[in-house]
Chains A and B, each alone.
Chain A
Amino acid sequence: MGKRAAAIVGLTEWAPKRVWDEPMFTMEACARLAAEVLADAEVDKGEVDGLVINGLRESPLFAPSALAEFLGIRSNFNEVVDLGGATPAGMVWRAAAAIEVGICETVLVFAPSVPAPPQPGSNGGPMKMKMGAYMGGEVWGSPQGQFEIPAGLVAATPSFAMAAQRYMAAYGVSEETLAKVAVDSRYNAQANPLAVFYGKPITVEDVMTSRYVADPLKLLEIVMPCYGGSAVLVTSAERAARCPHRPVYVSGYGEHLTHKSITYAPDVVDTPIRLAADRAFAMAGVSREAVDMASMYDCYTITVLLTIEDAGFCPKGQGGRFIDEHSLRYDGDWPLNTHGGQLGMGQAGLGGGMSHITEAVRQVQGRADERQVPDCNIAYANGTGGMLAEQVALILEGA
């Protein structure tokens, strides 16, 4: 049996939006998320003694103390996690581990991604989500700024496209098979009113006829950047037993990384997911066959294929066949990203990575509404950060 020390007991999630017309400071967003997640879990703010964040725009240094001050929390565990899209999954296991070692009992885990109110002198107006292409790699001394950026290897899509290109050459997978990942995700999004593509199903033909952005990836295989936000509450098993929702144990976890830029990945089609997932499954004492639903980071269709293989759900090179042979829909034989994934729901910054966790928790707690997977007890959730770089795998099990 895996770890039973800490459980997720509450969640809140805002609908991702391409344009966000209610700008707020990150600290204000955290306060609203905290109020909502504490209400969901029926836990009093005074019980919170841990905070995990990615950073705070309003306090680039001393971020955890700034947030503790802002929220009026006396905190024993204060963590900043910097793992790109794997950040939320990395936050959850760090919270669970901290609770297990006894340094704290109840931890707020934040994933806000909202624009700040316009600064005086700026032109203001609602803001469209757009990430800087260099992502900080242009600073003095950065290898990325000297080798990748001058070659045009920027943002994320070209790097994932290189993984897809290499995979197609090494193992062969049709573009139609990759398209099916986007189509099944979009199907699931039709059962999720929070999804940015709710009410907008697509077909394989739609994906195949969308324009090439970075060969071989096409527009509809790529997430839509959005604003949004979410939070979960992690607490001790003892406290979790007194919460209204079914506790979801963080029963196994693993993390692995080897590189930042894709140029230096040891093998772009044998990803760090493998070691993270192996550790998580071993820690949980759970077999791949026991997993009732999978919640895999899906910035691109190729990410899902590589994750299915490297997390051990099928042999290397068989991911295409696996996708062809299984329905990845919430009502299918291998439910995956039942919320629509980020491909269907939108990538709300950090909240995009968190959406894989919130959905797994909803499913295990039996509150996924129309898309509920029957008898869902064990979920695999993971995060992929950077250029197939940072990897965190979680096994989430119902009490």
Chain B
Amino acid sequence: MVHFSTDGRPLPTPTPITAPYFDGLRERRLVLQRCPRHGFFFYPRGRCPHCLGDDWEWGELSGRGTVYSFTVDRAGHDPALASRIPFAIALVDLDEGPRLVGNMVDCDVDDVTVGMAVEAAYEDVDDTTLLGFRPAG
């Protein structure tokens, strides 16, 4: 579910199953579930998407990865984000395996490339912390 920040940005509404992930972000930690057979997976859900096992445990990741692909929104596809264009949206393959989505920060949108090394960045918006990525330092 989506709710909106005081400045109109769409924010995630955590569920009982996704809350630990969002709690982790607030603490500047990237935590995901790890299946003993299939490793980390994203997004949080009650059963591993590979084997439907429920014997996963939460674990912390490095936050490092590479840009699998990206785009630069120059049109404001979400009217609620129109004031933020241009912004880069990246799909990032984390070193530990799973692929996540987030905005690129601390980086000119024209400098983003496929294969770029990145690390997790955390952006506080009202009571929520969003996951983004910046060029790896």
Show the binding face of A for B, using Cβ within 8 Å.
133-134, 138-143, 145-155, 157-158, 161-163, 165-166, 169-170, 211-215, 217, 261-264, 268
Contact = CB atoms under 8 A, between A and B. Distances in A.
Interface in B88-122: 89, 91, 99-103, 113-115
Contacts, number: 112
Contact of B115 (A162, A169, A262, A264): A169
Given A155-B78, A214-B75, A150 B130 contact: yes
A262 B73 contact: no
Given A146-B1, A166-B68, A211 B74 contact: yes
B74 A162 contact: no
B11 interface: yes
Q: How large is the interface on B (under 10, 10 to 19, 20 to 34, 35 or more residues)?
A: 35 or more
B43 A146 contact: yes
B101 A148 contact: yes
Contacts of B77: 133, 152, 154-155, 157-158, 214
Given A140-B15, A153-B89, A163-B69, 7 more contacts: A148-B101, A152-B87, A155-B77, A158-B71, A162-B71, A213-B74, A261-B101
Nearest to B125: A150
Interface in B27-53: 43, 45
B72 A146 contact: no
B74 A138 contact: no
B13 A140 contact: yes
B79 interface: yes
A343 B27 CA distance: 47
Contact of A162 (B2, B12, B69, B78): B69
B2 A134 contact: yes
A150 B71 contact: no
A268 B70 CA distance: 11
B78 A133 contact: yes
Contact of B73 (A142, A148, A152): A152
Given A133-B77, A145-B1, A150 B9 contact: yes
Contacts of B100: 147, 263
B10 interface: yes
A150 B3 CA distance: 9
Nearest to A151: B101
A158 B1 CA distance: 20
